[in-house]
Homo-oligomer: A and B are copies of this chain.
Amino acid sequence: MRLSDLPTPCLVLDRGRLEHNLAVMSQAVRRHGVALRPHLKTAKSAEIGRMAVAGEAGGVTVSTLAEARYFAANGFKDILYAVGIVPAKLAEVARLMAGGAVVHIITDDPATARAIAAQGVALGVSFSVLVEIDCGEARGGIPAGSPALLDIARMLAAPGATLSGIMTHAGHSYACRDLAAVQAVAEAERVAAVTAAERLRAEGFACPIVSAGSTPTALHGTNWQGVTELRAGVYMFGDLFQAEIGSNALEDIALSVLSSVIGRRAEENRFLIDAGALALSKDRSTEATPHDRGFGLVRDLLGRPAYGEAKVLRANQEHGIVAAAGPLDFAGLPIGARVRVLPNHACLTAAAYDRYHVVDGGDEIVAVWERVNGW
């Protein structure tokens, strides 16, 4: 099978680039003597998960219970479900733990901590819980200095629960536009994590796990003292947005959408492809960066720069309108010609597909790897 044999649109993953990206993150984290706990919300694939934990401590991160089920079924034994838990999801976590996986959960709420312990008793398990700390992202979590931190710890010092540590996520590193800014966010992330851990320890609570991370801060942080593990996910594939904020080079983006030309408008220097809003997602994150890539940057069948800086300017459900700055060579773009579109945001683009068609630099499909979607 070759790229030209695949139905379009479909998802293409370059294995060599993936391996390169995994190695870069592994080395970045290893120099700090910190464990890497890859976040599998981007890849959602057991094959990629196994590559990402090879040589690492073995723990992974997930963003949905569907991922937790899938990775547990695929032999992953140490899973952090990094979205605030609600009591209604505890029964499923308990089932996964009964199957032999440790599924750490997170909370930032004392009443929920109490419910976790109570349900742990009722379900006959001891839930492993991390307290979520806000290091500046202003999404989930409590400040490292919050009185609620100790309230939660006390609620978890009960049968049915185990306080395993704290976690934080510097998602606001995505707002950074230079290395110094990323490094400053990384240090704030570390300080928040360590402050919270020290406060717990000062009150006599064990805090074995001090978990932080985002792709930019895990790559570029200069000091992770006191942190025990770093989480990151999108680094595996890279994308156009991460390229803008310095996480990866354009040429290291491992993920693309294979698409066919379905219309041509030479007089407008535009063409139409069968990758639209569903195939690419409507993520427009590069809009806020120096290089607005529309809904994606268009490359040739082999993923090479081509068509000037052609990008997907408009995305309807199944139509992408491609425009270029310079004049396009329409002789090389007949109806049915194939292009590859690099995504703004790999996590969202990949989510439309149930499998990866894996290539290794060329156009031969060397593997097909499944993905788990949904919740």
The residues of A with any CB-CB pair to B shorter than 8 Å are 7-10, 41, 63-65, 83-89, 92, 107-109, 111-112, 138-141, 171, 260-264, 268, 272, 274, 277-279, 281-284, 314, 316-319, 321, 334-336, 347-348, 351-354, 373-375
Contact = CB atoms under 8 A, between A and B. Distances in A.
A109 B335 contact: yes
B317 A84 contact: no
Contacts of A318: 41, 63-64, 83
Given A336-B88, A354-B374, A63 B317 contact: yes
Contacts of A65: 7
Contacts of A41: 317-318
A278 B64 CA distance: 11
Contacts of A278: 348, 351
Given A140-B262, A318-B41, A112 B335 contact: yes
Contact of A336 (B64, B87, B141): B87
B9 A109 contact: no
How often does this chain occur in the complex, in copies?
2
Given A7-B89, A86-B335, A87-B336, A317 B347 contact: yes
B139 A84 contact: no
A263 B109 contact: yes
Contacts of A88: 7-8, 260, 336
A317 B43 CA distance: 13
Contact of A86 (B84, B261, B375): B261
Given A8-B88, A139-B316, 7 more contacts: A86-B261, A86-B262, A88-B260, A107-B335, A112-B335, A278-B348, A352-B373
B336 A139 contact: no
Contacts of A351: 278, 352
Contacts of A353: 374
Contacts of A171: 316
Contact of A263 (B84, B316, B336, B352): B84
Nearest to A4: B88
Contacts of A334: 111
A262 B111 CA distance: 12
A83 B281 contact: no
Contacts of A317: 41, 63, 347-348
A316 B85 CA distance: 16
A335 B84 CA distance: 9
Contacts of A347: 317
Contact of A319 (B83, B281, B321): B83
A22 B354 CA distance: 31
B109 A319 contact: no
A111 B333 CA distance: 12
